[in-house]
């Protein structure tokens, strides 16, 4: 029985039942594809609006709920952990039931979580709400899958670059706007202001997005694997976040870390059993055996870790006083201070989306990793606010170059019928890095302190971190980024003049095709290229 429940596509000349027929330059609906991109861009921006206001508000949230720096990092980590656990489940559900239906469900769940988070009566309630809100992280893999279905291969690099650029645009808009609302009315009202926009975008998905043509109705969802992975991550991240306050050798810290690590054993056993039973696990070894999938996952794990470490460290340095090596900015000023990083990401991502087809993925990804590491080192050495603003543009440019290029190695290598699972699994690895990035920085800020206790104000009672804590955070991020760059060398090129022979059918000059149809027929006879061995 075929894995997909798709009927023949009569617009492409017909195909055997269950055989996905990719769009080509001659058959894709440009107006509809652009409409999908517009809706997805709006969703990315509203998610980033909420996150953009939340990050500069962390010191205020810390003060409101009387928690320390390491504990408040859980606000970021709880969101990332649930996103890690939910992404493969949601991606698989999209493959089974259709990505439009699942995207609508995700938007409703996200809207509900956003609605209640602003009314959090205590820190524990906020953590629970943020955990549910993590479903927002599953929007990206669903969107990437829809883009891959609606755009021909010739335009996929450009479409992926636009999505990557939306992160920069979203940060550039959300940080000052969200921070202004938080500064004037409080972080709770910023949550309230997002509710109607999320609901409006949910309606837009219902009215403007068609149901996905790729289905796999006979596939089972690995709920057990998702629960075990989420539990393992929760234990490890809780130990990292609370270790400083509990004591690194305390029973609580060791217990949470031990439980988290111990759960990895039944997780592996469960995944092996699930695979032997003929089902697809949450971390599919079949896909992981594909070289380009494994390389992309490794690189984006590092990228997620570095980005979360950078954002968390930058915001706190902007808002902390000079005794910590900080610049005494308020919420609004700190939000605006991140805008150069966002604008840099936006501009470079757009340029990368055009250049990647000519230059290739690997050269741009390596350049991006190197530039990101240089940016981290410069940020560690920055002595003034002006230097930090300048150096963060270098970091943002490197991040955009790395992300906008390397994702093509995944989406142009994987069979379209596996795209939902592959992008969701990639999201797992990306957010795996993010889920531990904030706690690492929080632990550094709690461990390396000046001994100065703030007597009053939003940071009252806080033992201020030293400059060394921020420098360690940036140095660690730089080292990890360079280590991750090594993985790029093991990938097989999918674009540019040096692409691997198995990807010779991919267009070399996608960025120049624009609205013109490809004149040369594809040398690959089958409508779907075979999976990489």
Exposure of 450 by Cβ count < 10 A (0-12 exposed, 13-18 middle, 19+ buried)? middle
pLDDT of res. 526: 33
Q: 441 and 315 in contact (C-beta within 8 Å)?
A: no
pLDDT of res. 167: 63
Low-confidence ranges of the chain (pLDDT < 50): 1-19, 508-533
DSSP string of 280-301, one letter each residue: PPSS-HHHHTSHHHHHHHHHHH
Give per-residue pLDDT as tens, 167-198. 666 666 666 777 777 777 778 887 888 888 88
Could you report how far apart the first and last alpha carbons of the chain are, in Å? 23
Domain spans in the chain, listed from the N-terminal domain onward: 24-213+280-509, 223-279
For residue 218, the cross-strand partners are none
pLDDT of res. 16: 38
pLDDT of res. 528: 33
pLDDT of res. 419: 64
φ, ψ dihedrals at 20, nearest 5° = -65, 140
Query: Which of the listed CATH numbers 3.40.50.460, 3.40.1010.10, 3.30.420.40, 1.20.1250.20 matches domain 24-213+280-509?
Result: 1.20.1250.20
Give per-residue pLDDT as tens, 53-78. 677 777 788 878 888 766 777 787 77
pLDDT of res. 517: 35
Is 23 in a helix, a strand, or coil? coil
Global pTM reads 0.66
Rounded CA-CA distance 458/442 in Å is 18
- Candidates 93, 107, 98; CA nearest to 47 is 107
pLDDT of res. 21: 62
pLDDT of res. 111: 86
């Amino acid at each position: 029985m075929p894995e997909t429940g798709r009927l023949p596509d009569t617009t492409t000349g017909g195909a055997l039942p269950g055989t996905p027929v990719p769009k080509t330059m001659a058959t894709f609906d440009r107006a509809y594809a652009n409409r999908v991109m517009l809706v997805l861009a709006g969703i990315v921006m509203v998610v980033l609006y909420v996150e953009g206001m939340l990050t500069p508000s962390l010191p205020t949230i810390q003060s409101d709920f009387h928690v320390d720096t390491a504990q408040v990092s859980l606000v970021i980590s709880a969101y990332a952990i649930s996103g890690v656990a939910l992404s493969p489940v949601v991606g698989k559900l999209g493959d089974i039931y259709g990505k439009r239906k699942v995207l609508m469900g995700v938007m409703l769940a996200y809207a509900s979580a956003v609605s209640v988070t602003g009314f959090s009566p205590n820190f524990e309630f906020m953590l629970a709400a943020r955990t549910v809100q993590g479903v927002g992280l599953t929007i990206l893999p669903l969107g990437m899958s829809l883009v891959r279905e609606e755009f021909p291969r010739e335009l996929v690099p450009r479409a992926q670059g636009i999505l990557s650029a939306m992160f920069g645009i979203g940060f550039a808009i959300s940080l000052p706007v969200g921070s202004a609302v938080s500064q004037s009315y409080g972080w709770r009202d910023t949550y309230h202001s997002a509710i109607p926009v999320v609901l409006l975008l949910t309606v837009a998905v219902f009215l403007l997005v068609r149901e996905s043509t790729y289905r796999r109705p006979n596939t089972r969802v690995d709920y057990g694997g998702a629960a075990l992975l989420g539990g393992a991550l929760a234990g490890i991240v809780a130990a990292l976040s609370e270790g400083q306050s509990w004591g690194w050798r305390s029973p609580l810290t060791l217990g949470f870390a031990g439980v988290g690590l111990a759960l990895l054993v039944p997780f592996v056993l469960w995944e092996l059993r699930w695979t032997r039973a003929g089902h697809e696990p949450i971390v599919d070894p079949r896909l992981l055996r594909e070289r380009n999938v494994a390389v992309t996952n490794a690189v984006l794990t590092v990228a997620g870790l570095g980005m979360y470490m950078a954002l968390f460290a930058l915001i706190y340095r902007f808002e902390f006083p000079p005794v910590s090596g900080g610049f005494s900015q308020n919420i609004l000023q700190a939000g605006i201070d991140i805008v150069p990083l966002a604008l840099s990401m936006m501009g470079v991502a757009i340029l990368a989306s055009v250049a990647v087809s000519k230059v290739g993925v690997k050269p741009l990804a390596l350049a991006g990793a190197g530039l990101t590491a240089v940016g981290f080192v410069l940020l560690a050495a920055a002595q003034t606010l002006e230097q930090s603003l300048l150096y963060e543009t270098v970091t943002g440019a490197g991040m955009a170059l790395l992300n906008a290029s390397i994702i093509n190695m995944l989406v142009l290598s994987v069979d379209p019928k596996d795209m939902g699972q592959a992008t969701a699994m990639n999201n797992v690895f990306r957010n795996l890095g993010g889920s531990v990035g904030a706690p690492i920085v929080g632990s550094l800020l709690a461990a390396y302190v000046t001994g100065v206790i703030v007597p009053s104000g939003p940071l009252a009672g806080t033992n201020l971190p030293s400059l060394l804590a921020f420098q360690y955070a940036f140095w660690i991020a730089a080292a990890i980024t360079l280590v991750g760059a090594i993985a790029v060398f093991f990938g097989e090129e999918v674009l540019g003049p040096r692409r691997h022979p198995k990807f010779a059918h991919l267009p070399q000059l996608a960025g120049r095709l624009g609205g013109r149809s490809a004149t040369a027929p594809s040398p690959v006879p089958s409508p779907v290229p075979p999976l990489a061995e």
